Amino acid sequence: MAIPQPATPANPPAKMVNPKEDEMLTVHQTWMLILILLGLAIQRNLASPEAKKFREDNHSFPPEIISKIPNVSVPVGRDALFTCHVKYLGDFKVGWVKEDTKAIQAIHDIVITHNPRVQVSGDFHTTFHLHISEVQEEDRGQYMCQINTVPMSSQTASLDVLVPPDITQSSGDRELRQGEMAILECVADGYPTPTISWRREDNQYIKVKDPRFGVRKVQRYEGTTLTIPKVTPNDMGAYLCIATNDIPPARSKRVYLYVQFPPLIKVKEEIMGAVYYSDMKITCEVKAYPKPIVYWNFSNGIVLNGGRYTVNEEVIRPFEMTSTLTIRNMSSLDVGRYSCVAKNSLSEASTIVRVYMVATPSPPTKVTSSVTYGFQPNNRPDFIPTKSVLLDNGVQLYPKYSEPDDPPPLLVHDNNRPQDQYDILGHNAHIKDDNESKKGHNNFGRSSGSNSQRSVKPCFCYVLNFVIWGLFEKLAFV
């Protein structure tokens, strides 16, 4: 029996293809093919021995610190910061250690030290910071950033704590005798080590003894020890020890050097003139140490404060002063020598000021009639200093001095009296005519305490007056 053959189906009708869909399919297939080829290439490269070694090497890189840590210098009391940069850290840890004491400051993000001024910060993967606030001198030293690998990887930086100078030792005030040697010392601490210099407070030169240059004068001397050989009064004063190290503030110490010496007295004028009824001041300058006692002598007595006299003292420096004697309402009683006396424990010194009366402008010294002597205290006179007075009829009046230091006499004209009458103030007078035929002496006091006056006239005037007065008396009694 024949196996029936299956009926052959009729051919289906042909399907129509869209050209746009066929084009899109082709592009998609192209990109798929590119991606497949790229994946095969990558897979092949990853499977190569070079790629395998690269992966193995990168996986075994040790951690390392990639930059040097800079040193830090800060003044005491400020904050300090250290920074450590690392790579390939992985599971390793970074720590901070103070190298000189081996004290661990921190491990990774945990502070180990008990110092509350130490802190850490950073991302703790590649950057690590160590903070030290308000640094103190004990914080000075080396700080290490280290990674706990074997062997250890580390970097070290130093912390300099800058300290301003501080004077720890110096000489106190010194008191020496003139001619002795002065040694002044000054010591200071600080970081960096301070420089010591000396200068005078009044900016005067310092006379120093230098081992290299001998004795010389300088305005500033550098060194911890200042040596002044054979001190004099000019060396007396305040000296400043100054310590600097470029870290503010600088420090200074004041040392006063006292030099004992006997009094030295100076006056501006040794001879002074005064006008009647005016005030007069006499001043002397005194230098001495220890401080002297200063007083004034006149007419063998001490001038005291009170009445017409006033004594004022002004201290300029511990070893220098002035004494001023003021005399009010000057008169002839005040003419003479005044002594300024200074005395201390070492010695005594004095100086003399001579006072005389001076004149105001007045008529010429020729006298036409008569000359009287005496003093009228109730009337202010005009004064004429003179060495000789020419009288009428050729008679001259010459001063004659009993002492070389006495001042010349004065002619005094009272405005209330006739122009031809003058008062003579002085010690002695000598009357002499032109022919040297007759000499006579009249002693004149320093002043006249009464209002009485005497006339000095040529001899023939006295005879004429005597005759006229006799005739007048006879006529009066008739």
Tokens of 124: 């703790």
Structural domains in the chain (count):
4
Indicate whether 76 and 156 sit together in one domain.
yes
Pairing of strands 271-274, 348-357: parallel
Residue 35: per-residue pLDDT: 72
Nearest to 92 by CA among 113, 62, 127, 137: 62
Can you tell me the distance from the alpha carbon of 200 to that of 235, in angstroms, rounded to the nearest whole number? Answer: 9
Nearest to 384 by CA among 329, 421, 338, 339: 421
Residue 444: per-residue pLDDT: 36
251 in a domain, yes or no? Answer: yes
Indicate whether 141 and 159 sit together in one domain.
yes
Domain end marker among 234, 260, 286: 260
- Cβ atoms of 96 and 121 within 8 Å: the answer is no
pLDDT 10s digit of each residue in the chain, 478 long? Answer: 333 444 444 454 544 545 555 555 576 677 777 777 776 666 666 556 665 555 445 556 899 999 999 999 999 999 999 999 999 999 999 999 999 999 999 999 999 999 999 999 999 999 999 999 999 999 999 999 999 999 999 999 999 999 999 999 999 999 999 999 999 999 999 999 999 999 999 999 998 877 777 788 999 999 999 999 999 999 999 999 999 999 999 999 999 999 999 999 999 999 999 999 999 999 999 999 999 999 999 988 999 999 999 999 999 988 999 999 999 999 999 999 999 999 999 999 999 999 999 875 444 444 444 444 433 334 444 344 444 444 444 444 444 433 444 454 444 444 455 544 444 544 444 433 333 333 333 333 333 333 333 334 444 444 455 455 555 454 544 4
pTM of the predicted protein model: 0.57
- The distance of Cα 6 from the centroid of its chain, to the nearest Å, equals 135
- The strand pairing partners of 196, in sequence order, are 243
Residue 212: per-residue pLDDT: 77
Residue 67: per-residue pLDDT: 93
Can you tell me the distance from the alpha carbon of 6 to that of 48, in angstroms, rounded to the nearest whole number? Answer: 59
Residue 192: per-residue pLDDT: 95
State the DSSP code for 158. E
Q: Is 196 exposed, middle or buried (0-12, 13-18, 19+ CB in 10 A)?
A: buried
210 in a domain, yes or no? Answer: yes
Domain end marker among 209, 234, 260: 260
436 in a domain, yes or no? Answer: yes
State the DSSP code for 50. H
Cβ neighbours of 138 (radius 10 Å): 9
Indicate whether 149 and 216 sit together in one domain.
no
Q: Position of tokens 């305040």?
A: 238
21 in a domain, yes or no? Answer: no
308 in a domain, yes or no? Answer: yes
Can you tell me the distance from the alpha carbon of 265 to that of 321, in angstroms, rounded to the nearest whole number? Answer: 10
Tokens of 242: 């100054």
Q: Which domain holds residue 424?
A: 371-464
- Taking only the tens place, the pLDDT of each residue in 368-390 is 444 444 333 344 443 444 444 44
Tokens of 287: 């230098």
Residue 257: per-residue pLDDT: 96
Domain end marker among 227, 260, 293: 260
182 in a domain, yes or no? Answer: yes
Q: Position of tokens 């300024």?
A: 340
Indicate whether 325 and 287 sit together in one domain.
yes
Indicate whether 250 and 277 sit together in one domain.
no
Indicate whether 337 and 385 sit together in one domain.
no
Kindly report the CA angle at 240 between 238 and 241, in degrees rounded to 5? Answer: 145
Indicate whether 379 and 412 sit together in one domain.
yes
H or E element in which residue 474 lies: helix 459-477
Indicate whether 108 and 179 sit together in one domain.
no
Per-residue CA distances from 340 to 155, 284, 306, 311 (Å): 82, 7, 18, 11
- Cβ atoms of 319 and 236 within 8 Å: the answer is yes
Indicate whether 231 and 292 sit together in one domain.
no
Indicate whether 376 and 460 sit together in one domain.
yes
| 300: CATH | 2.60.40.10
398 in a domain, yes or no? Answer: yes
- Taking only the tens place, the pLDDT of each residue in 211-235 is 777 788 999 999 999 999 999 999 9
In sequence order, the 6+-apart residues with CB closer than 8 A to the CB of 154 are 65, 144, 145, 146, 147
- Cβ atoms of 255 and 171 within 8 Å: the answer is yes
